[in-house]
Amino acid sequence: MLYDGHVHTPFCPHGTKDTLASYCEQAIKAGLKGISFTEHAPLPEGFTDTAPKQDSAMSKQDFYSYIEEVQAVRSIYQDHLAIGIGLEVDYIEGFEEQTALLLNEVGPFLTDSILSVHFLKHGDTYTCMDYSPDVLISLASSLGSIDAVHTLYYQTVLKSIQEDLGPYKPRRIGHMTLANKFQIKAPPSRSFIREQDAILSALLSGRYSLDFNVAGLRKPLCKETYPPLTVAKQAASMGIPLVFGSDAHQYKEMDHSPDDYQGLSFTAPISISE
């Protein structure tokens, strides 16, 4: 299915001001049948963004403007492109109740959503693990090793699948190997196949889909998809639906197509007309 299920917008504080229309035009030019706008959801009540620039997510006051603008562009392009109204929701350990309350408020406006891990809890502290190589290396120093960061990341992803976040909990898990973002500069000493297998098993039993996220290919210290092709093929062989995602933060980043991965079959997260 020629669908991009992970696209950001000008509402992203760490993105660009590329318009919603520019993403739609790029999608049509690429021959896509549809896209989902999945902006970073407002962080849960009481949580302080620990990223150095505090630019991880859309503000709560911008949410309704975001919905209105996506609804408007969906109407404009309805004859040319299916558009999902979505969010990329952060799973933050210890803030499950607040996240469920947020989802109960915003969920009725959505047709698609992704659940992702960016913040790792260690002690009473939270770190935005993927912010920069220096942040990850500092976290590794606190935890004892790069391997410990990867272990904690996969444990947290597994918790995100297992936790009850209410009826509007996203049913797709985002970039499940994001811990690899800086692997060329800060490589782990071992593979994490066992941890990845546990996540795939949880996805299957919970009937979740998986974000096949090509953003890692654009990252100079990663150079692979999230998850890697071997893991994606394993997921597909288990019957876990894969949703292609560019994770574009500017329209020019919609430079890969599901057709580039002939060995994989992708699904659309919303119903669209062929």
The dihedrals phi and psi of 110, each to the nearest 5 degrees, come to: -100, 150
Q: How many helices (H) and strands (E) does the chain have?
A: 7, 9
Q: What is the pTM for the complete model shown?
A: 0.97
Cis upstream peptide for 227 (omega within 30°): yes
pLDDT number for residue 273? 60
Contacts of 64 (CB under 8 A, 6+ apart): none
Q: How many CB atoms lie within 10 A of CB 56?
A: 20
Query: What pLDDT, in 10s, does the model give residues 107-134?
Result: 999 999 999 999 999 999 999 999 999 9
DSSP letters, 132-191, are -HHHHHHHHHHHSSHHHHHHHHHHHHHHHHHS---TT--SEE--TTGGGTTTTTS--SS-
Average pLDDT of adjacent 10-residue blocks, the chain of 274 residues: 96 97 98 98 98 96 98 98 98 99 98 99 97 98 98 99 98 99 98 98 99 98 98 98 98 92 93 65
Assign a CATH topology to domain 3-260: TIM Barrel (3.20.20)
136: β partners = none
Q: How many CB atoms lie within 10 A of CB 271?
A: 9
Given a contact cutoff of 8 angstroms between Cβ atoms, the answer to whether 267 and 241 are in contact is: yes
